[in-house]
Structure 1
Amino acid sequence: MDGRFNVGLCVVVCFVFGGRQLLGQCAPTHTGGTGSAGPAPGGEQDDGPPGGQLVEAGGTSGPALAIAKNTATATADTPPVRLDGPRTLTLLGLLSLVGGALFFDLDVGLMALSITVVLSLVSPKSAKGAVERCAWSTVLLVCGIVTYVSQMERMGTIDYLGKEVASIQAPLVGALLICLIGAVVSAFASTTGMLGALIPLAVPFLLDGQVGAVGLITALAISASVVDASPFSTSGALVTANTPEEQRDFVFRRLTAWGLGIAVVAPLVTWGLFVVPGSL
């Protein structure tokens, strides 16, 4: 059920954020890099689209079209990437990072910094300029948000809110508030951590039998996970950091609108779809 909900949500997001403009448009076509098409009938030269640009259908244009044109041109001009020594060491470093975190329970941050230092020492030429290109504003934003939420959890703020909600006599209202708290807090913190903290607080509603266990847990899981695209969360921050600088502000504003909006809409929709029918 949650898989179908996510598929439907993806379709809605696609059309809300400009996917409609891409319908009916052709794929990028290359003309061999000459920048012009062949002679037109009658011996006249037909000025076609330059190599790597997008041929439009229906004369439409927009931001998505401009991005597609730039991407096609950059793809045509970029030389093929080869697996040289620094790239091989980088891949080995990534595998070491994943293996150390999964199988040896090593600290991810310390391992990442250690691998970065080793790569910089082994190949300083390839690492030149990496520090300047790092999105430090995004790094500081995520660190600040994580520190703030961790402090709230340490002070017991999340537990306090959950216990107050659990004391509500109306199970349906309490279930809605738990989903809302999970969505809002998860937009700034770990989704897994929020589920581990909020699911035990929903046990009183489940014991009364007035709220279905499967429906409530499904609604809570979806509400807490669909907000991960928020730029204040780790996933959304990584997307923002890897966006080209000229588009970064645009992406940040769109992800902020999406994250804050879905933090309110998702609990209401999932509550109505999964919790309410199970209590009737």
Structure 2
Amino acid sequence: MALLIGLALQLVLRPDSRRVVSELPWSVVLLTSGIMVYVGVLERTGTLKAIAEHLGGIDNTLLAVLAVPYLAAVFATVESSTVAVRGVVVPLAAAVLPHADSARFTVLLIAVRATIGAVAISPLHLGGGLILANTEEADAPRVFRRLMAWSVGAALVLPSALLVLPLATGL
């Protein structure tokens, strides 16, 4: 659908294609494409499945539950799509709590999604990339550092802080 709308706009507005291509933030396009290829390779080689199996084999439930948001934070920091990260992490969460009731599983997913949302500002993520693409060139290094500091800080702190949610439900 988006391609059809883009084609219609191209036909109606007739922008100068050379100018449009020259104004594209190619560094963001290449970074996003590379990360998507990387995650695809991880899926194809079975790395994510192996991680899920190892998480399911952790005997200490609390440690396993803590590992899932940390993995989500790491994936969300380097993956360009929040939806793709959720698609990777939800099966990992299911492997950690295979016999949990829906309330406990939902609480774990809330902790995971909050972590993913907080680190989605990473300059390696699509959201942070869009911010960088719309930043003045002189300010780009400073904005990159701030976005990276925020996302790494959130990735380190939030999973532990959000562990309160699963603990409150008796995990």
Query: Which bracket does the TM-score occupy, shorter chain normalised?
Result: 0.7 to 0.9
Q: Deviations over 1:136-173 (max 9, x none)?
A: 12221111111111211221212211220111011110
How many correspondences in the alignment? 168
Q: Which has the higher contact order (CA 8 A, sep 6+)?
A: 2
Conserved 8 A contact 1:149-1:188: no
Question: Following TM superposition, by how much is the alpha carbon of 1:119 offset from its aligned partner in structure 2, in angstroms?
Answer: 6.5
1:235 is matched with which residue? Answer: 127
Matching residue's letter, 1:259: S
Matched, 1:194 2:85: yes
Matching residue's letter, 1:263: A
Matching residue's letter, 1:169: D
1:143 is matched with which residue? Answer: 33
Matches within 5 A, 1:117-156: 118=11, 122-124=14-16, 129-156=19-46
Aligned in 2, Cα 1:145/1:224: closer, same or farther, shift over 3 Å?
Answer: same
Aligned in 2, Cα 1:236/1:119: closer, same or farther, shift over 3 Å?
Answer: farther
Question: Following TM superposition, by how much is the alpha carbon of 1:117 offset from its aligned partner in structure 2, in angstroms?
Answer: 5.6
Structure whose CA Rg is larger: 1
Matches within 5 A, 1:85-164: 100-101=1-2, 108=3, 112=6, 114=7, 118=11, 122-124=14-16, 129-164=19-54
- Give the 3-state SS of the residue equivalent to 1:265 in structure 2: helix
1:178 is matched with which residue? Answer: 68
Structure 1: gaps spanning 5 or more residues: 1-99, 102-107
Matching residue's letter, 1:177: A
Please, what TM-score do these two structures have when normalized by structure 2?
0.84
Matching residue's letter, 1:200: P
Question: Following TM superposition, by how much is the alpha carbon of 1:196 offset from its aligned partner in structure 2, in angstroms?
Answer: 2.8
Matched, 1:274 2:165: yes
Matched, 1:166 2:85: no
Could you tell me the percent identity over the aligned residues?
30
Question: Following TM superposition, by how much is the alpha carbon of 1:185 offset from its aligned partner in structure 2, in angstroms?
Answer: 0.5
